Structure 1
């Protein structure tokens, strides 16, 4: 009897959970393959939503997908674990031990054997070796980090109100995460004003520091200018062409000794794959620890190891730079593999991945939103802002839910969220 193919997907972000869901539905249910998803967290959160979890404007319990339950519904297996190494000769993924928060050992280090491996480990901010960043700054790269920041945020706001003192926040990195988080913090404190102290929003002093010449460098200059103007309109200080040299208790040093004070410090600059991926298993990697892949999304040194999403580096034909690490790229790569990998397992050729640029969107909470429309879809190459851009931004998440759960369940989830919004506080209060 032929053994089912063992497909192991490491990382349950946008690409990982989408690929596991589709391959589980196609191959897992029928017994053609054993599809396994490995992630260190028990739950999935759509990464572009993390800044709202950090600010407390979305209920994390409503938005998270529990891997174990989702796996049972879609024909794949979930294994908790954190990858630290790869043995390509034995085709084994090496996983760290698992301990409770108190340090009690639950599982010893172990290995998971694969026939086909897909690395979908995502990315995190890059501290570039700046002294003090790891010790003093919050990162917003995972659900755990977002919730930790929210706890610190609520504690600092409470202290500010109780002691009648200002509340200072400094965010390094004016990409989408830094800009959207800034606006969301303003919004959450505006709403909080209606629950007690009406002056709580006035206490917020926020500084956004960016090493480049403008915010949102990957967007057109018009969007950068409009976004910066909106942030300044709500009272924030935006410092561009500002290089942070160190993080200390109570703030950042930058530009030859200037010090920006902060009670809460966030690092949202740069992008790199997890550190352990540098030269992982002898695979070709770049300076950002990303796996270099061919147009078929296979690693350049092993056809049975694929990489998708932020942890992969793919330079498309005719281009001199790799694709940007965005949710749009990750989702399209997962869809591509889900469509063609089953055929490749039976000997069919694997076609090249072709990225279709549908544009980019940035939402400044309820204040405004901006977007560019790519070469595909409606209004090709256009520019949108305001309610249309906010609606388009919201639709991206609903599309992700539909891809994971199907139309019926995604609609029920949206309905439940709307109902809860009518009876629950608009922000996280406890």
Structure 2
């Protein structure tokens, strides 16, 4: 028992999220919501103000792959939810209860969450005759054929696909994988008919960032003008939910998605808002 226990003061919990892409930003908002709802479940010893949540990004702003206006809006919303936003600060070491920054600063962190990018399974790098990058992704051509074997294709997060007129590969995003699946389907059909493979060209339809129940911000890309439209609040939330249901329709069809939607409604009304296990 230490002094904090004797005085009846709760311990502060420091949560650090390394990586401020969409995953890290959305997770920070969900954790803040969770911290505010803990007393509902009898955890009165831990208040929301006792939970410190930090989002740490090595780049000079959060959501570095998205437009600056979206990044600025996300920063304002996180700060409004009492989430610390630390940018331009790479992490050099993770310890049991702290983080060591590149400049030597030590930050307390009882819970550290890694959200800085993706890495493909190690076994991909061990496949004979196939080329991978340092993230274990299979290197593919624009047609999604692997660079070393024309009979093997890869797409999604496990593949590093080049983009025309860019030195960066196709981003590992759901919409990219969806588009690649469509292109690969056409390529395989062409292959059966003795036709050429279909080159994949990524079309960015925009991004939506959901801050739990608080708000949603995003930008939608116009196919005709090539410009993006900034949206937020209820309109952005409607787009976010609609996009989620569209993904479900693509996977399960309209009927099964309708059943899933109905079950979600029933579960939300009957089950607790947090899973405490």
Equivalent in the alignment of 1:29: none
Equivalent in the alignment of 1:169: 15
* Contact residue 19 and residue 56 of structure 2 kept, 8 A: yes
Do the aligned partners of residues 250 and 218 (structure 1) sit closer, same or farther apart at CA in structure 2, a change above 3 Å counting? same
Segments ≥4 residues shifted beyond 3 Å:
377-380
Cα distance in 1, alignment partners of residues 178 and 103 from structure 2: 42
Q: Which SS does the other structure have where 2:118 is aligned?
A: coil
Cα distance in 1, alignment partners of residues 233 and 249 from structure 2: 25
Q: Which SS does the other structure have where 1:350 is aligned?
A: coil
- In the TM superposition, residue 307 of structure 1 has moved relative to its aligned partner by 0.7
Q: Which SS does the other structure have where 1:224 is aligned?
A: helix
Q: String of CA shifts for 1:53-99, please: whole Å, max 9, x gaps.
A: xxxxxxxxxxxxxxxxxxxxxxxxxxxxxxxxxxxxxxxxxxxxxxx
Q: String of CA shifts for 1:283-310, please: whole Å, max 9, x gaps.
A: 2223332222122111122111001011
> Are 1:248 and 2:86 counterparts?
no
Equivalent in the alignment of 1:342: 189
Equivalent in the alignment of 1:95: none
- What TM-score, normalized to structure 1? 0.59
> Are 1:302 and 2:149 counterparts?
yes
Cα distance in 1, alignment partners of residues 107 and 122 from structure 2: 29
Cα distance in 2, alignment partners of residues 209 and 196 from structure 1: 31
> Are 1:183 and 2:29 counterparts?
yes
Equivalent in the alignment of 1:401: 248
Consecutive unaligned residues of structure 1, counting only runs of 5 or more, are 1-158
- In the TM superposition, residue 379 of structure 1 has moved relative to its aligned partner by 9.8
Q: String of CA shifts for 1:139-177, please: whole Å, max 9, x gaps.
A: xxxxxxxxxxxxxxxxxxxx9xx9722221111111111
> Are 1:312 and 2:159 counterparts?
yes
Q: Which SS does the other structure have where 2:38 is aligned?
A: helix
Cα distance in 2, alignment partners of residues 173 and 379 from structure 1: 29
Cα distance in 1, alignment partners of residues 260 and 226 from structure 2: 29
* Contact residue 170 and residue 251 of structure 1 kept, 8 A: no
User: Alpha carbon RMSD of aligned pairs, Å?
Assistant: 2.3
Do the aligned partners of residues 324 and 420 (structure 1) sit closer, same or farther apart at CA in structure 2, a change above 3 Å counting? same
Q: Which SS does the other structure have where 1:169 is aligned?
A: strand
Pick from 260, 268, 271: which aligns with 2:107? 260
Consecutive unaligned residues of structure 2, counting only runs of 5 or more, are none
- Equivalent pairs counted in the alignment come to 270
Q: Which has the higher contact order (CA 8 A, sep 6+)?
A: 1
Do the aligned partners of residues 323 and 249 (structure 1) sit closer, same or farther apart at CA in structure 2, a change above 3 Å counting? same
Q: Which SS does the other structure have where 2:141 is aligned?
A: coil
Q: String of CA shifts for 1:391-419, please: whole Å, max 9, x gaps.
A: 22222221121111110110111111111
- What TM-score, normalized to structure 2? 0.89
Cα distance in 1, alignment partners of residues 221 and 162 from structure 2: 19
Map 1:96-245 to 2 at 5 A: 164-197=10-43, 200-245=47-92
Q: String of CA shifts for 1:108-138, please: whole Å, max 9, x gaps.
A: xxxxxxxxxxxxxxxxxxxxxxxxxxxxxxx
- In the TM superposition, residue 279 of structure 1 has moved relative to its aligned partner by 6.3
Equivalent in the alignment of 2:178: 331
Q: Which SS does the other structure have where 1:192 is aligned?
A: helix
Q: String of CA shifts for 1:216-252, please: whole Å, max 9, x gaps.
A: 1011111111111211112122111112111111010
Pick from 117, 132, 148: which aligns with 1:285? 132
Q: Which SS does the other structure have where 1:348 is aligned?
A: coil
Cα distance in 2, alignment partners of residues 375 and 282 from structure 1: 41
- In the TM superposition, residue 253 of structure 1 has moved relative to its aligned partner by 0.8
- In the TM superposition, residue 335 of structure 1 has moved relative to its aligned partner by 2.1
Q: Which SS does the other structure have where 2:66 is aligned?
A: coil
Do the aligned partners of residues 255 and 318 (structure 1) sit closer, same or farther apart at CA in structure 2, a change above 3 Å counting? closer
- In the TM superposition, residue 377 of structure 1 has moved relative to its aligned partner by 8.2
Equivalent in the alignment of 1:135: none
